[in-house]
Chain A
């Protein structure tokens, strides 16, 4: 006789949970596979792209590659693909290590625009200027000030070879994995398509892989979690820095980690005291995917460049946090208040963040 008894609630919950886990695992593996495919395509495409980039954009100097990375990130609305592109340019000999370093910096400066754009969308939906754009402008200014100072520190690190001893990238297994799993797809494309198109396809694949990775993140479950108290309490700055660093390390994206902060705070508020160190932390570990890209390129110097970027941002953040955080915090928040105070200030600010990278590219 067949038993028609329904499975218990616990059994159904367990099967539902395992399905969710399986789905997340498939998404994670697919996004990682696509990321590696994208890097491999960009690497191959960049070799032929070199003369075009040098002729059209003239990104020979570190300052022009800074501006180029900045504008490129505006165009792609994301920093990670641009940072990966800078490594492929460096790998192909189009730009120097210093150029790659400044282009990665530019990519992160440009990527902060996305938080501001989300704010504009909120504003168009009828919210106040100050409330909509506050976090976006804050994120941009914190990023600009820390990365600006980190440029100098990183330059010194690269010139003195401070981190040259730490190099990863020549692992043979990486080479065999890439050759075995990806070149059967990459080779036909490079044979039949022009290099620039292969590069663009690679860029799009990376963009898609990062979007796909966002689906893997359990943002919904965070909404009801005990982290909901985060908005109501004032934490030590170093705790928020570590939290920002950790969440970005897992999510591999600053914009995602800042978006995560919203469901973390169950009323949609974040505290002024907490947000700046959180953004600082996020800005350090956001390079984790670029570090992965450097390993995949099997270029030890590219790995050093990314490590210098991470270290210099971490050093600058630590100095601010240890020695003049409260003054920095007040100055930045006062500046944000002034910038979002009226339309004229805001328009000037927008003009500045577009003019600076343009000037850097043109000069």
Chain B
């Protein structure tokens, strides 16, 4: 596994660096520390920051490649991630996106949209990465889990607890539908083999493959974003994992991207797994 920790001069970058180093130590991943400066005048500051981060890594017994790049942060990070065949990019999340910032697409959003691997956005300090909340989006949820495990499966180890959550925001619109599905818990849906139950069952099977981890399936009913936020608040999760649409063309225009709202509103580390482009 290869982890790229990309930083700039914000306080969130420090938090992201510490969290990324902890993950690298735990997984034994090959580590790259990258700092992006806007112009060559900032070179000395950039080098100093990289040295500090290198020291932090050494203190944890980690070897790291130190990379200083000049240019637009998002472009440089994406380019390097492609070049280095990285498995995980760790970024600081910045402050809660204002309307203006959302309009001009901040670095994190651009990286998430174009990165070749999952992106972990760290906004607040967490000491560990043991409790995972994985959001199962339904139709494409299984592919998201597969891609997450393919790149960053080492993050989930023996002591981890995983909650696999699917949010049902449906309302019954025909007398032919089964009412109970709109109130049911995950276990009931799995037992009775409904579509959502099958999705959860398949997701659990993929997550359990070769791992001794505890996986709890969960279903919530309500607006998707609201239920995700409630679950994050109620559960003591260290990392929230979810997929993001990235199909290009009409799909991007038509579909609402829940991941953007989660990035903007969840303060815990959020790991975004991109959909296949095409």
Contacts and interface: CB of A to CB of B under 8 A. Distances in A.
Nearest to A336: B171
Given A232-B138, A333-B223, A275 B179 contact: no
B233 to A, nearest CB: 16
A23 interface: no
B255 A267 contact: no
A265 B173 contact: yes
B258 interface: yes
A269 B170 contact: yes
Contacts of A86: none
Given A128-B179, A333-B223, A261 B173 contact: yes
Interface string A213-248: 000000000000000010111111101000000000
Interface in B167-203: 169-177, 179, 182, 195
A122 interface: yes
A134 B223 contact: no
Contact of B173 (A269, A330, A333): A269
B171 to A, nearest CB: 5
A270 B171 contact: yes
Interface residues of A, number: 33
Contacts of B179: 127-128, 131
| Centre residue among B138, B195, B223, B255 by max chain A CB count within 10 A | B223
A268 B169 contact: no
B222 A125 contact: no
Contacts of A268: 172-174, 176-177
Nearest to B222: A272
A269 B223 contact: no
Given A239-B254, A267-B177, A273-B224, A234 B138 contact: no
A262 interface: yes
A138 B171 CA distance: 11
Interface residues of B, number: 23
B139 interface: yes
A248 B138 CA distance: 29
A261 B223 CA distance: 19
A330 B170 contact: no
B91 to A, nearest CB: 25
Given A131-B177, A233-B139, A273 B172 contact: no
A128 B254 CA distance: 33
Interface in A116-171: 121-122, 125, 127-128, 131-132, 134-135, 138
A341 interface: no
A291 to B, nearest CB: 28
B223 A330 contact: yes
Listed residue (A121, A131, A229, A275) with the most chain B CB atoms within 10 angstroms of its CB: A131
Given A232-B139, A236-B254, A236-B255, A270 B170 contact: yes
A237 B138 CA distance: 20
B9 interface: no
B224 A134 contact: no
Contacts of A273: 169, 223-224, 256
B72 to A, nearest CB: 27
A20 interface: no
Nearest to B221: A272
Interface in B72-99: none
Contact of A272 (B171, B175, B254, B258): B171
A125 B175 contact: yes
B34 to A, nearest CB: 34
Contacts of A329: 223
Contacts of A211: none
Given A127-B179, A267-B195, A272-B223, A235 B256 contact: yes
A234 B244 CA distance: 13
B249 to A, nearest CB: 14
A271 interface: yes
B226 interface: yes
Interface in B2-18: none
A224 to B, nearest CB: 15
Contact of B171 (A235, A269, A330): A269
A325 to B, nearest CB: 11
Interface in B226-267: 226, 253-256, 258
When A and B form their complex, which 4 residue pairs have the shortest distance between CB atoms, in order from nearest?
Answer: A268-B174, A269-B170, A268-B177, A131-B172
Interface of B: 138-139, 169-177, 179, 182, 195, 222-224, 226, 253-256, 258
Given A135-B173, A272-B171, A273-B223, 15 more contacts: A131-B172, A131-B177, A131-B179, A232-B139, A233-B139, A234-B169, A236-B253, A236-B254, A268-B176, A270-B173, A271-B169, A272-B223, A275-B171, A330-B223, A333-B223
22 contacts: A121-B175, A125-B175, A127-B175, A127-B179, A131-B172, A132-B172, A138-B171, A232-B138, A234-B256, A235-B254, A235-B255, A236-B255, A239-B253, A262-B173, A268-B176, A269-B170, A269-B173, A270-B170, A270-B171, A272-B170, A272-B222, A330-B226
